Structure 1
Amino acid sequence: MCQEFKSPLSKRARAMLEDFQASLEQGISKIGVLNDEEIHQAELERVFGRNWNFLAHESEIPNKNDYVLRSIGDDTFIVNRGSDGEIRVLLDVCPHRGASICRAAKGSSSHFQCPYHGWTFKNNGDLVGTPSFKDAYSGLDRKEWGLTQAPRVEIFHGFVFATLDENCPDLKESLAGMGWYLDMIFSLQDEGMEVLGEPQRFIIKANWKIAAENFSGDDYHLMTLHKSTYDIGVMQIPLRENMKGYHIQAGNGHGISFSIDLESKDPLFFYYPEEIVKTFNLENLSEKQLELARGSRVCVGNIFPNISFLMLPLSPDPKNVPPTPLFTWRVWQPKGKDEIEVWNWFMMYKNTSEEFKRASYRAAMASFGIAGTFELDDAIPWETITRNAKGTFAKKNMKLNLQMGMEGMGTAKQVMEWPFPGIAYYPRYEEGNQRHLYRHYLKEMLSEE
């Protein structure tokens, strides 16, 4: 049983969501939920407050006392590796008067001191210092006034997740079928992945759900919005060829998509070069995971609610540099109903050469960095959608089409004997993953448990 909500939905907000829920089964979404203050406030508690949220990767805090500052919804947390080596997630709020205690985005410290009155805490959260203790707080039980910890923290292949709901299902259960696909990606190499450089942070004036649904299963937009990337050679897989693949509804709102070369006789492994493939330990994979990885060239997905990832080969300089596989992992951090702060990590398998990591990082920066070709393309329509969703007439009357792939609509069909987890459709002319995301979103938003 999940937590009960302190703030019930207003009659107006519930009516909006129930209208969306009814129309979704006809492949219709409602633009109004993409820019609404009441909906946003409810999401902070009902979506971000009771699901698993990604905060950091272990490679960002490799040493004892290392820390980074991250967010869940509108709460800020210190993610640190304590003096004992254990990773903890501590709310960045002093229990004395509520001031923030951490004044840097990252660093190394065995203690944190509040700048307001000097209360001092060990990096395990214990209160160990109160100025003028004898005169001011000689009767205080310090054990009761340590920093508040996130109710639950779990680490998956080095990825640190936390939930604010102590009754939330375990991370593995919450990931459902998505866990199987992530296992495949992260287990290719024994050492797993590491973060390259610092995560990029930038603002897009858009609603977080637009970005989440895009990575969940919107391959269709590549043929128009990103057409120039193929025309100039950044992406060398022909756009229509790239649509040959599968959309998978992986459970609990998660969606993942693979572009697969069905005719290739050679193993692809996302186009990693032979010297990198030699570092893979394929015994880590099940027979079915190996079968899928061998034939995959592009993978993109969204972990509900707002964690997206992408692995594919791109070139930063088509005339001079061949395509290099890259991996981007990002969080669409809501800063309001109409703004997200993008946290964008570039990662690569740890046991690869520094030369290859630099090449991958360069390809990632040129395409999915803050000024990357793909990144700039996406922000423009996302911002106009959010702006349009604010319109008085549009909010009341505008419906959006999410019917691609439904019966009688296009060429995509369900793969009835899909050998891997989830529900799959082929080819990728299909919006079932987006509908799957919104079904789970509406379930979370309308639940009163």
Structure 2
Amino acid sequence: MGHNAFENLIVDNPADRLFRVNRRAFTDPSILEAERVGVFDRSWIYAGHESEIPEPGDFRARDVAGRPVILARGSDGEVRVLLNTCTHRGTLVCRESSGNTKTFQCPYHAWTFSNQGDLIGIPREEAYSGAFDRRELALATAPRMELYRGFIFISFNPQVDDLVDYLAGARAYLDLVCDQSEVGMEIVSGTQSYCMRANWKLLVENSIDGYHAPITHQRYVEFLYETGVDKSYIQNRWTGQGLALGNGHSVIVNEPMGGRPIAHWTPMFGKAKKAELAAMRQKLTERFGEERAYKIAQTSRNLFIFPNLIINDIMAITIRTFFPTTPDYMDITAWALAPVDESEENRHLRLDNFLTFLGPGGFATPDDVDMLEGCQKGFANREVGWSDISRGMHRDEPWSNDELQIRTFWRQWHELILQAQPADALTGF
């Protein structure tokens, strides 16, 4: 598959303030194949959080970038991401979603591996010659794995930039999330898993699109009014800023729309919470100074880390990833992130917000699913060949309801799939 096949997918014309995406990008199976090797295999991909495997022997099995993997904390205390395939004949060595174990045993021929990936047991090993070497048959790992403040990333590209360099400007906004606790952040027990009959890039666009929120999510706005939130406060929520952060990453920064139990009081919390939240704010100010404390407590952020990680630090902190299975179908997984030292009451408030707005049955997510599946159906009208992503191109400082952050994604995406070579398909998932 040559470069020319993908060169006409983007119209990027800064002089005329025009940016358009060919809708073939959402429907063509050959583009999905190029994405698998050119985007997902060449980027850093979020695999999990070290708080999910706190003790030696803990593990989590999940799919990451289309591959079954095991997040494992070995008996040595080290975090690893093992590829979940027996090095003998290939079947899964771990079939439980989570647990604690010293070993993973293949159910096919009982080859046994330690929780550090070493091959430690082979039935009737005497049948093999002297050339047989157990060390060569340890469980495989991704070519690269790095952690940043508890976030575990892997890459199948040995030459990928170091994670800190790859994160570029997104680091600063990830730090605003992590600095909400002095003792660390943790994934709250429980996982949201659902699917959508739409192309995965539609969810990228939607997750960093401030334009649709007051329209598509009008039910939630009305709910906030009912809780006593001032209308002017809600209206100001839509006047934040969209920022490009390098390497395809971007963020929407706004004043918080709804209440977060992080040092900032809103009417929905009730007057009894005022003193506690003021004390939390004072502690943040002492740690970081007034300016940074304000950013942590009184701004919200939709942070996108290319290619498929969304961290919504809005009503609650949601970590969301998604992977395509076909051009018009994706699997989505989401977790709640919270301060380890959060009070039981504040944890309850956080999870209520998490489910009320961002959950699969909440105010926002069903709206978004309906809209994006509608977009995918609309793409059947091939006579309408382009989607317009030009909003705000004439502004020096784009607003949060402009589309700078979406254009940032598309430019990085286009650059990567243009580099995808035919031979790479042999190493894709």
- TM-score of the superposed pair, with normalisation by structure 1: 0.83
- Secondary structure in 1 matching 2:416: helix
1:305, 1:431 → 2: CA distance?
A: 17
* Aligned equivalent of 2:245, options 233, 245, 250: 250
Alignment map for 1:189-228 (pairs within 5 Å):
189-216=181-208, 218-228=209-219
Could you say what secondary structure the match of 1:197 adopts? coil
Secondary structure in 1 matching 2:242: strand
2:105 counterpart of 1:110: no
- Which of 161, 166, 176 is equivalent to 2:168? 176
Q: Give the direction of change, closer, same or farther, for the CA distance of 1:241–1:288 in structure 2 (3 Å limit).
A: closer
CA distance, structure 1, for counterparts of residue 72 and residue 13 of structure 2: 41
Corresponding residue number in structure 2 for 1:260: 255
**1:311 Cα deviation after fit:** 2.1
- Match of residue 188, structure 1, among 177, 180, 184: 180
Match of 2:152?
A: 160
What is the match of residue 296 of structure 2? Answer: 293
Unaligned runs of 5+ residues in structure 1 are 1-9, 262-266, 314-325, 408-412, 416-424
Cα displacement (A) at 1:199: 1.5
Pick one of 400, 409, 426 that aligns with 2:387.
Answer: 400
The one-letter code of the counterpart of 1:332 is: F
Instruction: Look up the equivalent residue of 2:408 and give its one-letter code.
Output: H
**1:24–1:36 Cα change, 3 Å:** farther
Counterpart for residue 402 of structure 2: 430
Deviations 1:121-141 (A, max 9, x none): 111111111111113466521
CA distance in 1, matches of 2:290, 2:108: 58
Report the secondary structure of 2:224's partner residue. coil
1:241 aligns to what? 236
Q: Which moved more, 1:54-63 or 1:189-198?
A: 189-198
How many corresponding residue pairs? 401
Measure how far apart 1:401 and its partner are. Answer: 1.3
Report the 3-state secondary structure (helix = DSSP H, G, I; strand = E; otherwise coil) of the residue aligned with 2:189: strand
Alpha-carbon distance change, 247 to 47 in structure 1, aligned in 2, over 3 angstroms: same
- Choose the corresponding residue for 1:365, options 355, 360, 363: 355
Q: Distance in 1 between matches of 2:350 and 2:367?
A: 21
Instruction: Judge conservation of contact 2:206–2:368 (CA < 8 Å) in 1.
Output: no
User: In the alignment, which of 281, 304, 307 is matched to residue 306 of structure 2?
Assistant: 304
- Bigger mean CA offset, 148-157 vs 225-234: 225-234
Taking the aligned partners of 1:281 and 1:337, their CA distance within structure 2 comes to: 45
Alignment of 1:4-153 (within 5 A): 10-11=1-2, 14-15=3-4, 17-23=6-12, 25=14, 26-136=18-128, 139-153=131-145
Would the alpha carbon gap of residues 237 and 69 (structure 1) be closer, same or farther in structure 2, given more than 3 Å must change? farther
How far 1:291 sits from its partner (Å)?
A: 5.1
Matched-pair contact (CA < 8 Å) for 1:102–1:112: yes
TM-score (ref. length: structure 2):
0.87
Percent identity for Structure 1 against Structure 2: 28
Give how far 1:382 is off. Answer: 0.8
The alignment partner of 1:248 has SS state of strand
Q: Secondary structure at the match of 2:183?
A: coil
Given the superposition, is the C-alpha separation of residues 440 and 288 from structure 1 closer, same or farther in structure 2, using an over 3 Å criterion? Answer: farther
Question: Shift of the alpha carbon at 1:428?
Answer: 2.2
Q: After TM superposition, give the deviation of residue 286 of structure 1 in Å.
A: 7.2
1:84 Cα deviation from its structure 2 partner:
0.5
Supply the RMSD in Å over aligned alpha carbons: 2.4
Which whole-Å CA distance do the structure 1 matches of 2:170 and 2:288 have between them? 15
Q: 1:275 maps to which residue?
A: 276
Contact between 1:270 and 1:293, CA under 8 Å: does it hold in 2? no
SS of 2:188's equivalent in the other structure is strand
Structure 1 residue 152: Cα displacement: 1.5
Partner Cα distance (1:67, 1:270) in 2: 38
Verify: 1:440 aligned to 2:427, yes or no. Answer: no
- SS of the equivalent of 2:95 reads coil
Could you report, residue by residue, the CA deviation over 1:307-343 in whole angstroms, capped at 9, with x for unpaired residues?
A: 0121223xxxxxxxxxxxx111100122222111111
For 2:276, the aligned partner's letter is E
Give me the whole-angstrom Cα distance separating, in 2, the residues matched to 1:380 and 1:192: 36
Query: Which whole-Å CA distance do the structure 2 matches of 1:177 and 1:46 have between them?
Result: 22
